[in-house]
A = this chain, B = another copy of it.
Amino acid sequence: MQNLANRLQIRDFRLVQAIASTGQLALAAERLAITQPAASRMLASLEKLIGVPLFVRHPKGMTPTPTGETLARNANSLLHGLDLTLQETEAAISGRAGSVRVGSVTGGAVGFVVPAIQQLKRMAEGADIHVDVAPSDVLIGGLLSGDYDFVLSRIPPGTDARQFAVKRGRVEIIRFLVRRDHPLTRREKLTIADMEGWEWVIQAPHTPMRQAVEEVFFSSGTPLPSEIVNTTSLLVMIGYLDSTDAVAPITREVAELVAPKGAQGRFVALDLDEPIVIHPYHMISLKSHTLSPLATRLRDLILDGLSLSG
């Protein structure tokens, strides 16, 4: 497949996208400003390279095979990425000033990014600040592709960490969010065994929070629930909890915001007798990336916050 990657060309993706969207080779050829026989040979060459047909030929045009459809969909994304690349390159050439774009895992967002933004606002009026909350793999992907100046994130396994400047770890502790009248709220002390059988609303497999929770269930011999909804959205979590007996693992910082202790809200955050700890997230930037003054200031404020609290 690596050899295949080296032989594919941008115009191959353009061709697949053009055929998929027009349904006709001749029209696709027109889009690429080549003749129909040239497009026919390009497609045949690509199908030979990949090893399976991408389109089914019909008397009045072509339709994609499942593989063709997958490739066309991805071609859209790749070509869009290429366009963005050129736009960013052009912006870099003309020297346009930036803003500050930060990504964070949930605990870091609530605990450190938000307060730091408030402080930054006092120092720098009119600052252009963008914040995203997402799982670590999305954040690191965004960092690598230049979507973020820096992130509060974990480094996903398989990622070459040498390219990162990494500072100051911090663990997250998990609580379980349920609706106010959930049967589990009547228990004095919760153990993992008590959690058996309740539906989950949780982040997708392979995220650290998911892995931490699954690991504790495995260790205690408690089976995982068969009903799981996968989402990173807090909104979907609380929407789902509001009308079911599902449980949602969340970090302590989020719990404090959504269901503070002593408050008479719609949700309650439960603690286990033995806390579940997620391994640390960090302040991560790219070694090769020079931060703007604004971004540097925000990063320093966040780092100050991390220092003060632990």
Contacts and interface: CB of A to CB of B under 8 A. Distances in A.
Interface of A: 1, 4-6, 8-11, 20-21, 50-52, 64, 66-67, 69-78, 80-86, 88-93, 95, 106, 109-110, 113-115, 117-118, 121, 125-126, 128-133, 141, 144-146, 163, 199, 204, 226-227, 229-236, 238-240, 242-244, 254, 257-258, 260, 263-266, 286, 288-290
A70 B83 contact: no
Nearest to A90: B1
Contact of A146 (B73, B80, B231, B288): B73
Given A11-B6, A131-B231, A264-B264, A70 B89 contact: yes
Contacts of A242: 257
A229 B131 contact: yes
B235 A130 contact: no
A73 B230 CA distance: 30
Contacts of A109: 233, 235-236, 239
Query: How many copies of this kind of chain does the complex include?
Result: 2
Contacts of A86: 1, 4-5
Contacts of A21: 163, 288
User: DSSP class of A's interface residues: helix, strand, loop or mixed?
Assistant: helix
Contacts of A80: 141, 144-145
Contacts of A258: 238
Contact of A233 (B69, B131, B239): B131
A114 B237 CA distance: 9
Contacts of A131: 229-231, 233, 236
Contacts of A67: 89, 92-93
21 contacts: A1-B86, A66-B92, A69-B92, A71-B88, A72-B288, A73-B286, A74-B81, A74-B89, A76-B145, A77-B141, A81-B81, A109-B235, A114-B243, A121-B227, A125-B226, A130-B230, A131-B236, A133-B236, A234-B234, A238-B257, A265-B265
A11 B288 CA distance: 21
B229 A257 contact: no
Given A70-B146, A77-B81, A146-B70, A117 B5 contact: no
Given A8-B82, A51-B93, A71-B88, 19 more contacts: A4-B86, A6-B11, A20-B288, A67-B89, A67-B93, A69-B289, A70-B88, A73-B286, A74-B89, A74-B146, A78-B78, A109-B233, A113-B236, A125-B226, A131-B230, A131-B233, A234-B234, A265-B265, A265-B266
Contacts of A51: 93
A74 B145 contact: yes
A231 B132 CA distance: 6
